[in-house]
Amino acid sequence: MIRNLKENSSVKGRAITNQRRLLLELLREADDHIDAKELYLRANAKDECISMATVYRSLNLFKELGLIDELRFSNSIRCYYEIKHSPEHQHLICQCCGKVMEFHNPYFQKLVEAVQREHGFKVTKAELYLAGYCQECGETK
């Protein structure tokens, strides 16, 4: 859906302005998990009229529309954003450099299914992240 946004298009009745389109495109192109500040820096390099307030309002709108996921790990005040996609995946977070990496483990989904069955509980959201040190930072620890 995001790849095919055209000029003057809308998503769920909300206008996709040029600035919103740019922000969505930058989120889609990001090789990593991006926070609001980094998204602003990348967007501002392409359009100096984009403000930090526009970035925050757009991120909130994108969440509301179900286009992106907001990730907050542990007690961090920093939020990361990624385009909503499947399959479900989990995250590795480096406690030194802050790098966030994705991984997929089929046992996690099996665990969720087992919990649902055993407890008659409908899981609507399940998150797993592992904190530690990435390869680069681990070599210095």
Structure tokens belonging to residue 141:
């620890």
For the segment 30-38, the average pLDDT, to the nearest whole number, is 88
Q: Which residue has the tokens 């954003």?
A: 81
Structure tokens belonging to residue 63:
């969440």
Q: Are strands 10-11 and 14-15 parallel, antiparallel or unpaired?
A: antiparallel
Question: Which superfamily does 86-141 belong to?
Answer: Ferric-uptake regulator, C-terminal dimerisarion domain (3.30.1490.190)
Q: Which residue has the tokens 């996709």?
A: 16
Q: Render pLDDT for 95-141 as a digit per residue (tens, 0 to 9).
A: 888 888 888 888 988 999 999 999 999 998 888 888 899 999 987 76
Say if residues 24 and 18 touch (Cβ distance below 8 Å).
no
More confident residue, 50 or 98: 50
Q: Render pLDDT for 8-22 as a digit per residue (tens, 0 to 9).
A: 456 666 777 899 999
**Using DSSP, how many helices (H) and how many strands (E) does the chain show?**
5, 7
Q: What CA–CA distances, in Å, run from 86 to 7, 8, 72?
A: 27, 28, 19
Task: Pick 1-84's CATH classification: 1.10.10.10, 3.30.450.20, 3.30.479.10, 1.10.357.10.
Answer: 1.10.10.10
What does the pLDDT read at residue 8? 47
**Is the pLDDT score of 60 beyond 90?**
yes
Break the chain into its structural domains and give their ranges.
1-84, 86-141
